[in-house]
Structure 1
């Protein structure tokens, strides 16, 4: 019995000795790096909406017509420049093919979409551009969408509902098929030349 106990103690000591000799000393962590050189791209405006009022009856009095359909949307993209930008829109007078005009008419946009501007990529981390919801258009450009410096980076779409345009026609105008050209101009800061898509509005 004593011999067995003695052998057990010697074996335990041997194991402890082996564990001590075989222990691993932790080394200090080693740092390395990852780098990325991302070249800023350009800002572009690729499309704009067209509005249609369909066929409506003339009136002996002042009349306001509501659009029945919209085709397309405002599509723009900032490929990492972050300079900020502005989109303006102007509208030519409503004219017919024979050259007659819809005198003193006014085209109005009043966006009713809950979230009119959305990022194409759902995980976009930039602040989206801001759309001006209510505008009266004329031959002089007015700002409709803008992004401050550092905002509006990525691809975005601004949409209108079918009934978001109104056409005010004063009394005394003659019935006919009229159209107006809408000119949408992107100006970004500081260097890139403006881009100018056009769309149409028919009545």
Structure 2
């Protein structure tokens, strides 16, 4: 009891004469943690393609020279969902032959320019996948169109291709017809180096 009174008197004297009193602060640290894992009941726990475009080049005139045609319609974005895998991923595309069931377009090349992949949820903090320009030969090898390096592309991202960003190149000498090609899209949980 007398100790408390003595401390009180000393503090009063210090304040009266303007003497600074140093009180030592105490700092301690604790932690906060969370473990994130896929919900076993969630059907969206793997990489998935949510949306892919059909492309139409409309009706064009045959030329005696090589021609390039801009898409007249690209009906949907390319959309990829990554529920939280850290491996990264690659979305590749391959074009089949342009055919009218009898004839094929010779030397056809389908081109995709680069675009920007944006998150569906604007609060997404992950780095987006990277778009790459590709030229697809009919029945040629698949080409990587979107690449998410390890640790990026988490969440849902969509890459919208405008009509000028998709083109079809044809050499001279092809025949009139109504041609269609199948595009094959492949999503793999491995980024291209």
* Unmatched 5+ stretches in structure 2: 9-25, 39-44
If each structure's strand is expressed as a fraction of its own residues, which one has the higher value? Answer: 1
Write out aligned runs for 1:28-177 (5 A).
35-40=33-38, 41-96=45-100, 98-111=101-114, 113=115, 116-132=116-132, 134-138=133-137, 139=139, 140-177=141-178
Q: TM-score, normalising length from structure 2?
A: 0.74
1:60: how far off?
Answer: 2.0
- Deviation at residue 32 of structure 1 after TM alignment: 7.7
- TM-score (structure 1 length as normaliser): 0.71
Task: Write the distance in 2 (CA, Å) between the matches of 1:169 and 1:29.
Answer: 72
Uncovered stretches (5+) of structure 1, i.e. residues with no partner: 1-16, 21-27, 191-203
* 1:53–1:69 contact (8 Å) kept in structure 2: yes
Q: Which is greater in Rg?
A: 1
- For 1:164 and 1:29, the matched residues in 2 are separated by 58
Q: Which runs of 4+ in 1 moved over 2 A?
A: 28-37
Q: Deviations over 1:64-110 (max 9, x none)?
A: 111111111111111111111111110001001x3210111111112
Superposed CA RMSD: 2.3
* Separation of aligned partners in 2, 1:29 and 1:131: 48
Distance 2:184 2:30 in 1: 52
